[in-house]
Amino acid sequence: MKWQEPFIWSIIIGVLLKTDFYLLKAIYRFVETANIRHFYYINLAKETNSLSFFILVSFLFFSLKFRQNNQGKRKWILGALIILNLIVVLLLLQSRIIIIVFLLTTLILFFLNLKNKSSILFAGSFVVSLFFLGVSPSFNARFQRIEPINNQNAEIVAASEKSSDKLNKCNSTELRINASKASLEVIKTKLIFGVGTGDWNDELVLKYKELNMSCNFVERTAPHNQFLRITLKHGIIGLLLFTGFLFLFFLHSWRIKEMYAISFSIACSLSLVAYDFV
């Protein structure tokens, strides 16, 4: 349909405008204060995961669409700049799983396109991303502990970490692992049809209490995995229907060569292993 491609382009432009606005804001604050922490999440902590997902979809769509046509020198330069922009905001949003999925898919696309020019595009994207993650703490903050930049900040950070340790003994990784373990235990009790859309969270919280997962119990942590969440609600039947839909959606998109649908299905299938935003 004619409206579909303009629609996905409007999403790409909208995502870039929004993230670039916050990126400029972070740069302005950094110039004022010389505090590199202004780049963390680029001030988008509440919508980091959803924006990162749409950036991943945008990157895949643009890259797959770009490789279909023989591009002139100017279009190659413009395309490279857009891709660089997408990479920068994706890394600064610091959604760890999306970044890992991005690196994985970029590497796969590189090997699938070794016989054409677009392999340079994917190889460059992969190398540039690893370079940024390796050299700048503002890009790799979620993958390692960041040291304060001066003595005053060191005192502030130390005090905040000390107080936060008393409030929460679990980090995000532990919360996710515990949520997965508890979800599997609940699923065992209602394997075929699940516990229902209204009771899944209550059942999960009760399981946290039973397993002595205090942090998860207090925060009522969701599974952070769409496949687990659907299985909790609807059992194996629901999981089969959902995964079957994703597979058929990808297969149909691949057959008719609709790049926007292929991009969405790949990003969705891989990202939902660590997120449950559907």
Name the CA dihedral angle for 62, 67, 72, 74, rounded to a multiple of 10 degrees: 30
HSE-CB at 193 with a 13 A cutoff on CA atoms is: 2
Per-residue pLDDT tens over the stretch 259-278:
767 877 888 888 888 777 66
As a whole number, mean pLDDT of residues 53-81 equals 77
Per-residue pLDDT tens over the stretch 77-135:
887 888 888 898 888 888 888 888 889 888 888 887 787 777 888 888 899 898 888 87
d(CA 33, CA 177) in angstroms, rounded, equals: 37
Residue 81: predicted pLDDT: 86
As a whole number, mean pLDDT of residues 198-206 equals 87
As a whole number, mean pLDDT of residues 238-257 equals 88
pTM of the model: 0.68
Residue 162: predicted pLDDT: 44
pLDDT at 167 over 50: no
pLDDT at 220 over 70: yes
Residue 165's pLDDT band (cuts 50, 70, 90): very low
Q: Which amino acid is at 161?
A: E
Say which range, 146-150, 210-214, 266-270, has the weakest mean pLDDT: 146-150
pLDDT at 168 over 60: no
Residue 241's pLDDT band (cuts 50, 70, 90): very high
Measured in whole angstroms, how far is the alpha carbon of residue 148 from the centre of its chain? 26
As a whole number, mean pLDDT of residues 18-43 equals 77
Residue 42's pLDDT band (cuts 50, 70, 90): low
For residue 183, count CB atoms less than 10 angstroms from its CB and return exposed for 0-12, middle for 13-18, buried for 19 or more. Answer: buried
pLDDT at 247 over 70: yes
Cα–Cα distance list, 220 to 183, 184, 207, 262, 273 (Å): 12, 16, 11, 34, 19
Q: Are 62 and 100 a contacting pair, CB within 8 Å?
A: no
Residue 141's pLDDT band (cuts 50, 70, 90): low
Residue 240: predicted pLDDT: 93
Say which range, 57-61, 172-176, 240-244, has the weakest mean pLDDT: 172-176
The string of DSSP letters for the chain reads -TTHHHHHHHHHHHHHHHHHHHHHHHHHHHHHH--GGGGGGGG-GGGHHHHHHHHHHHHHHHHHHHHHS---HHHHHHHHHHHHHHHHHHHHHT-HHHHHHHHHHHHHHHHHTTTSTHHHHHHHHHHHHHHHHHH-HHHHGGGSPPPPSSHHHHHHHHHHHHHHHHH----HHHHHHHHHHHHHHHHHHTTTT-S-TTTHHHHHHHHHHHTT-HHHHHHT---S-HHHHHHHHHHHHHHHHHHHHHHHHHHHHHHHT-HHHHHHHHHHHHHTTT----
